[in-house]
Structure 1
Amino acid sequence: MRTDPDHIGDDRRDPDVTVLGTGITATSLAVILARHGLRVLLLGEHDTSGSEPGEMTLPCTSFLYEVIAERFRVPEIALLADAGRVGRELSYNCGVQRTLGFVHHHEGAGHRRADSLQFNIPSEHGESRFYRPDLDAWMLAAAVGYGARVRQRVGVDKAVAEDDRVRLTLTSGEEIRTRFVVDTGGPDSAVARALGAERVSGGTGTRVIGAHAVGVRPYERVAPVLKGSHPWSQGTLHHVFDGGWIQVGHFRNGSGTPAGSALATVTLSLDAARFPRQGTDGWEEILARAARHPAVAAQLADAQPMFCWTADSGQWHASRTVGDRMLLLDGSALGGDPVLGRDLYTSAQLVYSAASDILAAARDDDWSAGRFRYLERLQHGMADRQDRLVDAALTASSHPALWSATARVWLLGTMFDALSLKRSAKTMASGAAEAALTSLRADPATGVCHETLPEYRELLDFTLAACRDTAEGRATARQSADRIFVRLRNEPMVPPIYGFGDPTDREYVLTTPQRVRTLLWARKEAPPGVLRLVRPYGARGGGKDLGHDD
């Protein structure tokens, strides 16, 4: 294998599939396609892995990685679902994701336990915080190992679909011909222009400023950890304030509270309408916002940035994402705030769906736009779902009770998503592939590729509508929060594993007795759809809970 950084791989024939971009979506897709015998070319314009959104996994993300690995026989992607193996085999720089913390702040006031919420993540293998430069490089190497070619520092000026090929003209003037092109590199690309795709703005949206920094103080040194919970630094902490939030996550945190020299990620999201860009340095704006809240300021008091990145485009999606022999995917098709772990989960869904459709198209030698309409509708559904979630989050940020209620509904959804995908993984592993594949081709309008509970979709719609009522002045934040909590208390599908409807229950730690109680509830009281998801999971969920089983 040649090691020329601009031209790796020996096959000089026209590629079957050319993938623009070298982030996790592009490289994972390349691994699968090359593994199944397609000639794949990856074109990377510039190194963006340090500023790529998407660092944390959730159980639903990891179960989907397991599904992808089983379906396409790619063990490299299965490794992403196991935090222990990630730290040992992928990169020591990666971290663990054991908790999701939320602390609401009022300007000038210190930390208040009553305004905090900590959700300890039940996980079979543990969840990860990926250090993206290492993750993307590792997956790129796996793609090359399966035979993909890679060219770095290559830009595409023009894309033209011809009868049997797509002709790509590079910035150097060189031309490449390929049977199909997948663009993951970003918005407003040559492929987007060829499709006539325009950016469509979503809801209110946020301005996002991200940074990797050293010297970020673990928050447990600022404020006490909730009883029975992991340290705040063992996961992602959301500092919420009226009009936005700051997310903090630590790398190299697997063995306990990380050292001050360990790298951390800090991401500020601000309501774009209320807080337009002032032209200040990104890190300065993060510190200025933190200074309004003493506990946040204390956490960042000694922090020094390594680099910053900004995203002012808010919520958006491409008006068109497919054409004959062309596909816009992930970062070229939709974008927005990375709140609530959307990015890697979205990426995994799109990799699964795109790999399925591309392999089928290659088998039939049919690369027409119609083969990829599902992906277009799915990405539009994802964009709509994220628009509504971000708008609701911005409204909920105005009041601690409304934020707590809205966050609980979202957390409940991630649990049902994980159960649904776990069921699909078990079904696929048992040999019932057809049933598993059907469950992973769900209504794209829902914004997810897998089956979801109708009852949960109704609860989510109710919650988003309650937030909208507050935003439009039909209800106060307290009134909307009370309505959501009442619905959570009375909703038959909500399991008794945590006080979702009790605003005073601020920490969730899953134990074996809670599992047993939930299984008994599922058999006697749960709606049929919930029973179908919970029953196969078992009293111990098929794995360990990072030390939280009794």
Structure 2
Amino acid sequence: MAPKQFDVIILGSGLAGSILATILAKHGARVLVIDKNAHPRFAIGEAMTPDTDLMMSILSYQYEVPEIAHLSSFENICNHISPSACGLKRSFNFVYHREGQAQNLQETNKLGVHPSSHLFRQDIDLYMANVAVQYGVQLLENTRVIDLSIDRHGVTIATDNNEQFIASYLVDGSGYNSLLTQKFQLREIPTRLKTHSRSIFTHMVGVKRYDDCVPTSQPQDELRWYQGTLHHIFDGGWMWVIPFNNHDRSANPVCSIGLNLDSRRFPKTDTSPEQEFQAFLARFPSIATQFEDAKPVRNWVSTGRLQYSSHRCMGDRFYLLPHAAGFIDPLYSFGLVNSCITIVPLAARLLKAIANKDFSANHFTALEELQQKLLNYNDDLVHCSYIAFSNYNLWNAWRRIWILGSSMRQAKAGLRKRLKISAGKGVELASMEDESNLDYLTPSYEGLGDDFFRQATTLVEQVEAGLRDPNEAAQQVMSLIQSIDFLPNNFYGLGDASQRDLDVASKYGIAEQKRFLFWIKSSSKSEVKRYFDYDIDDLLAAAQQTAAGRS
């Protein structure tokens, strides 16, 4: 029997693989997706962020696939998929704990955002895989690839059911056990990554709302602990609490729980993950209260060290999506957003390659550089976070570096999208320009000068090396933030260490955004260029349109 032919074969039908497959099929590509498992299935990577929402929206608009936009907000998921397929994420909540002590509510932080989501991945992934099939993607589930070969003519795949498939290009959207990394020995051994962490996780029912476990919040506090992603922070690690039952429309009683530990300080042992979790709760009484009635509804999973990396993300006729190429840690939920960031330009390059029958690796070089830069940035950010967990003041300062970076990238990417919408440019722009300028997708401190993030990172890493007092480092990080002269009126309160709770979706936060746009609109091009590695004419035009209320 002759092998079946496709333009692109994608390994893995998770969200990233299904989204890319859908986009390619929408624009005429013949796409095969192969997965060793079947939907519905358990998956982690459950917390959306404003960055991820924005990238989903950009993908949907740019490639004219409305079903991707159905994932871009809490309301869209409720209305188009299911209210039980998501939880509400109104905030990032961080609660600092000291072993053996009751929690001090003066050592907590909240970051309010426009309503985002928690993804019940077994439903969400099934939805997106079905969308891909509806657009013409061929999906093979419960199918293992037993051999693959790539030469200058194309890709050949052999499966365990004695079928053979050929394609012009192969995308690996699987994960750690990537077949491509094994075939071409792409893994870095040892990894270059600095973060050292491991995880145990499960789904539970009966997890209390943290609001019911602590003294009543002030009446004017609009940010509730249970209406966001809750992070319990402690010296040596953190825990996620991601509820899917935190809004009135949900009939899903499940809560996702994960404990993440510095694997050098808390190495994995023969203790079962459930016993390890109970032993952890015994050390932190204020966390234990939240789990007095909790019961797991699936088996616990215990990992070794989470971090892995690859010295290459692509080669002749193949590309590795972020989770196949490398991974850091679930903190800040960068996994899904980095996948979406990669897909934005990757889809354009693949469509162009198919049209021109030219799959030369040099067309993907800039994208590989971006993906490696994203991984390195994530590693620096998370590595310094684990260091900062040892001291509340240092943590309170360092988290503002993360907030600033996310805000900057959202400003650049969001303004660019508004400009494209106002110009009526969708997939035509993506196909013609091939997303050649990737500056708006790069890690977010480029516009603050090359030294800004490096200086902040060095300050924190000196704490780990015993060269700097953590409180001194916290003050120096705050001084760096305060030195950014374009932050109008102390942008979101980032420069004020006493302002523990920030809300970018409040009236105050929206007013700060408008003042930021006014700064862009009223400043000289040279002044703006100091902070944004960006097409300044486009940026100013988008800011003027936004300030005028036209987009």
TM-score (norm. length: structure 1): 0.88
The more displaced of 401-410 and 53-62 is 53-62
Question: After the TM superposition, which residues 399-438 of structure 1 pair with which residues of structure 2 at under 5 Å, given as runs?
Answer: 399-431=391-423, 433=425
Residues 211-360 of structure 1: matches in 2 within 5 Å? 211-223=202-214, 224-225=216-217, 227-255=220-248, 262-307=253-298, 308-360=300-352
**Structure 2 stretches of 5 or more lacking a match?**
533-538
Separation (CA, whole Å) in 1 of partners of 2:75 and 2:550: 17
1:528 aligns to what?
Answer: 528
Query: What residue identity is the alignment partner of 1:76?
Result: E
| Contact in 1 for aligned 2:445/2:453 (Cα 8 Å) | no
Tell me the CA shift for residue 337 of structure 1.
0.5
The one-letter code matched in structure 1 to 2:199 is V
Q: Deviations over 1:176-208 (max 9, x none)?
A: 222211111123433223333123411132102
Q: Report whether the alignment pairs 1:46 with 2:37.
A: yes
The one-letter code matched in structure 2 to 1:174 is: E
Counterpart of 1:246, as a letter, is M
Is 1:475 paired with 2:468? yes
**Secondary structure at 1:16 match in 2:** strand
Which residue pairs with 2:13 in the alignment?
A: 22
Q: Between 360-369 and 312-321, report the one with greater CA deviation.
A: 312-321
Question: Where do residues 52-131 of structure 1 align in structure 2 (5 Å cutoff)?
Answer: 52-93=43-84, 94-121=86-113, 123=114, 126-131=115-120
Q: 1: CA distance between counterparts of 2:502 and 2:509? A: 11
Report the alpha carbon displacement of residue 268 of structure 1 after superposing the two structures with TM.
1.1
**Using a 3 Å threshold, how does the CA distance of structure 1 residues 219 and 375 change in structure 2: closer, same or farther?**
same
Relative to structure 1, is the Cα distance of residues 538 and 354 closer, same or farther in structure 2, using a 3 angstrom cutoff? closer
Deviation at 1:50, TM superposition (A): 4.7
Coordinate RMSD, CA, aligned: 2.9
Q: Structure 1 vs Structure 2: percent identity of aligned residues?
A: 26
The answer to whether the 8 A contact 1:19-1:43 is kept is yes
Label 1:236 to 1:49 Cα distance change in 2 as closer, same or farther (>3 A): farther
Aligned 1:438-517 pairs, distance under 5 A: 441=436, 448-449=441-442, 453-455=446-448, 458-495=451-488, 496-510=490-504, 511-513=506-508, 515-516=510-511
Change (3 A) 1:402 1:251: same
- Look up the match of 2:535: none
Alpha-carbon offset, residue 79 of structure 1: 1.7
User: Could you tell me how far apart the structure 2 residues matched to 1:399 and 1:436 are?
Assistant: 48
For residues 188 and 269 of structure 1, the distance between their equivalents in structure 2, rounded to whole angstroms, comes to 21
Structure 1 residue runs without a partner (length 5+): 1-10, 544-550
1:453-477 CA-to-partner distances (Å, cap 9, x unmatched) read: 5217643322211111101111011
1:112 is aligned with what amino acid?
N
**Contact 2:478–2:495, Cα closer than 8 Å, also in 1:** yes
Letter of the 2:147 counterpart: K
Comparing 201-210 and 11-20, the one that deviates more: 11-20
CA contact (8 A) 1:515 1:540 kept: no
User: CA 1:321–1:520 in structure 2 vs 1: closer, same or farther (change >3 Å)?
Assistant: closer
- In the alignment, is the contact (CA less than 8 A) between 2:47 and 2:117 conserved in 1? yes
How many Å apart are 1:377 and its aligned residue? 1.8
- 1:446-495 C-alpha deviation (Å, 9 max, x unpaired): 9x448765217643322211111101111011111111122223321334
Structure 1 distance, partners of 2:204, 2:544, is 43
- Mean CA deviation greater in 299-308 or 210-219: 299-308
Corresponding position of 1:146 = 135
Residues matched between the structures, number: 526
TM-score when scaled to structure 2? 0.88
Code of the residue aligned with 1:153 in structure 2: it is: N
Which residue identity is paired with 2:361? A
Q: Bigger shift: 381-390 or 31-40?
A: 381-390
Hey, what does 2:174 align to over in structure 1?
185
Cα distance change, pair 49–39 in 1 and its aligned pair in 2 (3 A): same
Which secondary structure does the structure 1 equivalent of 2:499 belong to?
A: coil
**In structure 2, C-alpha distance between the alignment counterparts of 1:176 and 1:329, rounded to whole Å:** 21
